[in-house]
């Protein structure tokens, strides 16, 4: 495996040379997001994500994890603060939101595959229509990624012929097909049967080994402990605690973090 000089995992061995290495890939400064007058979802959130690292966002449902990811991809407009991608303020009103999203891959809980398109067409649609990649090149990259994720024989299938785990792997391939600088994963195992969770998490392990920069919102605490370089515990829209997995899971400093993890342990999830 090689990596590009911009820190992007080069999953098919051909580097894109942007020359933006050095600082954090993603930086949030005092980000605040509210719904209506009284519902504050993110409260002055600061976060830095370094190249080739995995940041896991943990916390109870409603703590702000998914909203943070949606703000980072400009799917939600922040009310205050700033978000930077490779040092460029992407929340500046003059920023081209579509251009920003072309540099960020996102995978949600729902697979969101087009049911009337084959796996190959689902994956190549954005590279061809948005990035202007010729069909032959887009299809070659898609087939290579499918092979790497164990789906090489499924290129001509329609989504309803695939299991949930296979559909989620296709969704990950689709996100990777645009050669993203950053990959955001939002509870990607939440909709899966328990026996399918492992195959999807295995893909994320492989991406980490390939050097992909990722931010993951997850309820899979054991997986977060294993794969993350940085763990952020969110509570009430605040990053209440952050650190290495060893620190946050093994020696949490905040009472609220300890109570959360005690419940997770009691439920047999850590």
Do 176 and 192 share a structural domain? Answer: no
The set of residues, in sequence order, having a beta carbon less than 8 Å from that of 176 and lying 6+ positions away, is: 11, 105, 145, 183, 207, 212
Do 267 and 193 share a structural domain? Answer: yes
With the CA atoms of 118, 123, 124 and 126 taken in that order, what torsion angle do they form, in degrees rounded to the nearest 10?
Answer: 120
- Could you list the pLDDT tens digit for every one of the 270 residues in the chain? 344 444 444 554 333 434 455 799 999 999 999 998 889 999 999 999 999 999 999 999 999 999 999 999 999 999 999 999 999 999 999 999 999 999 999 999 888 899 999 999 999 999 999 889 999 999 999 999 999 989 999 999 999 999 999 999 999 999 999 999 999 999 999 888 888 898 889 999 999 999 999 999 999 999 999 999 999 999 999 999 999 999 999 999 999 999 999 999 888 777
Contact 7, 21 (CB under 8 A): yes
- Structural domain span for residue 120: 115-180
Note whether residue 4 is domain-resident.
no
Strand 238-243 and strand 80-85: the pairing is unpaired
Do 188 and 175 share a structural domain? Answer: no
Whole-number Å distance between alpha carbons of 136 and 121: 12
Kindly report, residue by residue over 240-257, the tens digit of the pLDDT. Answer: 999 999 999 999 999 999
Output the average pLDDT for the chain: 90
Do 138 and 26 share a structural domain? Answer: no
Do 82 and 55 share a structural domain? Answer: yes
Do 186 and 73 share a structural domain? Answer: yes
Residue among 87, 20, 10 nearest 48 (CA): 87
pTM value is 0.89
- The structural domain count of the chain equals 2
Do 166 and 259 share a structural domain? Answer: no
Whole-number Å distance between alpha carbons of 230 and 228: 5
Do 166 and 135 share a structural domain? Answer: yes
Do 95 and 209 share a structural domain? Answer: yes
């Amino acid at each position: 495996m090689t990596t590009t000089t911009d820190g992007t995992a080069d999953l098919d061995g051909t580097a894109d040379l942007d020359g933006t290495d050095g600082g954090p890939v993603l930086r949030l400064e005092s980000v605040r997001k509210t719904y209506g007058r009284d519902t504050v979802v993110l409260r002055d959130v600061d976060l830095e994500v370094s190249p080739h690292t995995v940041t896991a966002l943990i916390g109870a449902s409603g703590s702000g994890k998914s909203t943070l990811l949606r703000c980072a991809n400009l799917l939600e407009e922040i009310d205050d603060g700033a978000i930077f991608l490779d040092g460029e303020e992407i929340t500046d009103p003059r920023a081209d939101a579509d251009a920003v999203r072309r540099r960020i891959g996102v995978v949600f809980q729902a697979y969101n595959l087009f049911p009337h398109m084959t796996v190959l067409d689902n994956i190549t649609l954005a590279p061809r229509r948005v990035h202007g990649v010729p069909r032959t090149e887009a299809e070659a990259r898609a087939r290579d990624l499918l092979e790497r994720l164990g789906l090489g024989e499924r290129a001509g299938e329609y989504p309803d012929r695939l299991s949930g785990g296979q559909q989620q792997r296709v969704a990950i391939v689709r996100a990777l097909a645009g050669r993203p600088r950053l990959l955001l994963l939002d509870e990607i195992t939440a909709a899966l049967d328990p026996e399918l969770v492992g195959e999807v998490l295995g893909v994320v392990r492989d991406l980490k080994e390939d050097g992909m920069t990722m931010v993951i919102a997850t309820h899979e605490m054991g997986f977060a402990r294993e794969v993350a370089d940085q763990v952020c515990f969110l509570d009430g829209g605040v990053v209440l605690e952050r650190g290495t997995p060893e620190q946050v899971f093994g020696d949490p400093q905040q009472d609220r973090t300890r109570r959360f993890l005690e419940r997770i342990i009691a439920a047999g999830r850590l």
